[in-house]
Chains A and B, each alone.
Chain A
Amino acid sequence: MTAFNEERLARLIRALPPAPAAWVRAAQELPLARAGLDEIVARAEADADFKARLVADLEAALEAEGYERHPVVIEALKVRFKSE
């Protein structure tokens, strides 16, 4: 970009409104969510009953066990247990 007149600057600042705060927070919490995901997968591999409940109803099983249902974790677990 070359010209920096103030009208154009105002237009460009206006062009990037903030993303919804909840989306940003969820993305920022990815490292923590990944750690939670590893823990859930390890437990499912060691506990057949827990794994069966995850496969039957993923979100209900996580809620019952007190795990935070982060969207990234849910998606990753769905992919992982889809073929079970």
Chain B
Amino acid sequence: MAQILSDSQLVARCRSGDQQAWAELVDRFSRYVYAISVQGFRLSEADAEDVFQEVFARAYEHLDKLRDDAAVRPWLAQLTRRLCIDRLRSASREGPTVDGELDLVGSEETLTTLEDALTIHEALAATPGHCREILDRFFARDESYRTIGEALDLPAGTIASRISRCLGRLREFLEGRTEADTPSGSR
């Protein structure tokens, strides 16, 4: 398994001015922040981009105020949600409100799914070999067998079986982690 910094280790390094750690923190949470704004709150790409940059700008600015380094994930989620709501409220003041635009209760299920999805992506980062690459390319990036095969120098005919095998390994890893009752924030 790849050795990956826990969230709290990463935050501590960011706070000490480690720019590489900051880049990794952005990389780790970029999909989550993006998905909350476009899937959870259905912001336009332009609004989502503003929220995305604002979230990371505020996070960078206020990282030293985070009381528990391991809580960076819910902190970023909360910050993103708040900025999305601000954005929707501001849009509703400027023009006619679209039906359901501010009905945020309806997006709770999506937000919960995104939390679970981030947990899976974090577990994926700890899986061995090409599994992360193959699963991410096929499911999250929607690439074809052919594209994946060319990118990873693998016969396209073997991609389907590799995907199936990698999903199995991911499931085993998650089940093993649950049985071992790994504390949150340590990977």
Q: Given B19, B53, B56, B174, which contacts A4 in the complex, CB threshold below 8 Å?
A: B174
Q: A1-B116, A10-B139 are in contact. Are A34 and B171 (CB under 8 A)?
A: no
Q: Given A13, A17, A27, which contacts B56 in the complex, CB threshold below 8 Å?
A: A27
- Say which size band chain A's interface belongs to: 20 to 34
Contacts of A71 in B (CB 8 A): 53
Cα separation A30 to B60 with both chains bound (whole Å):
8
Residues of A in contact with B (beta carbons under 8 Å apart): 1-2, 4-6, 9-10, 12-20, 23-24, 26-28, 30-32, 34, 71-72, 75
Q: A16-B117, A72-B53 are in contact. Are A27 and B140 (CB under 8 A)?
A: no
Question: 21 A-B Cβ contacts within 8 A?
Answer: A1-B116, A4-B171, A4-B175, A5-B171, A6-B164, A9-B167, A10-B167, A14-B139, A16-B32, A17-B140, A18-B34, A19-B33, A23-B30, A23-B49, A27-B53, A28-B23, A28-B26, A30-B26, A71-B53, A72-B53, A75-B57
Is B6 an interface residue, CB under 8 A from the partner?
no
Q: Given B23, B39, B53, B167, which contacts A15 in the complex, CB threshold below 8 Å?
A: B39
Which secondary structure dominates chain B's binding surface? helix
Tell me if A31 and B22 are in contact (CB < 8 A): yes
- Say which size band chain B's interface belongs to: 35 or more
Docked complex: B129-179 residues within 8 A CB-CB of A = 135-136, 139-142, 164, 167-168, 170-171, 174-175, 178
Assuming A15-B114, A16-B114, A31-B19, what are 6 further A-B pairs, CB within 8 angstroms?
Answer: A15-B117, A23-B49, A27-B57, A30-B60, A31-B17, A71-B53
Contacts of B139 in A (CB 8 A): 10, 13-14
Cα separation A14 to B117 with both chains bound (whole Å):
8
Cα separation A71 to B46 with both chains bound (whole Å):
13
* A14 nearest CB neighbor, chain B only: B139
Q: A4-B171, A6-B167, A27-B53 are in contact. Are A16 and B31 (CB under 8 A)?
A: yes
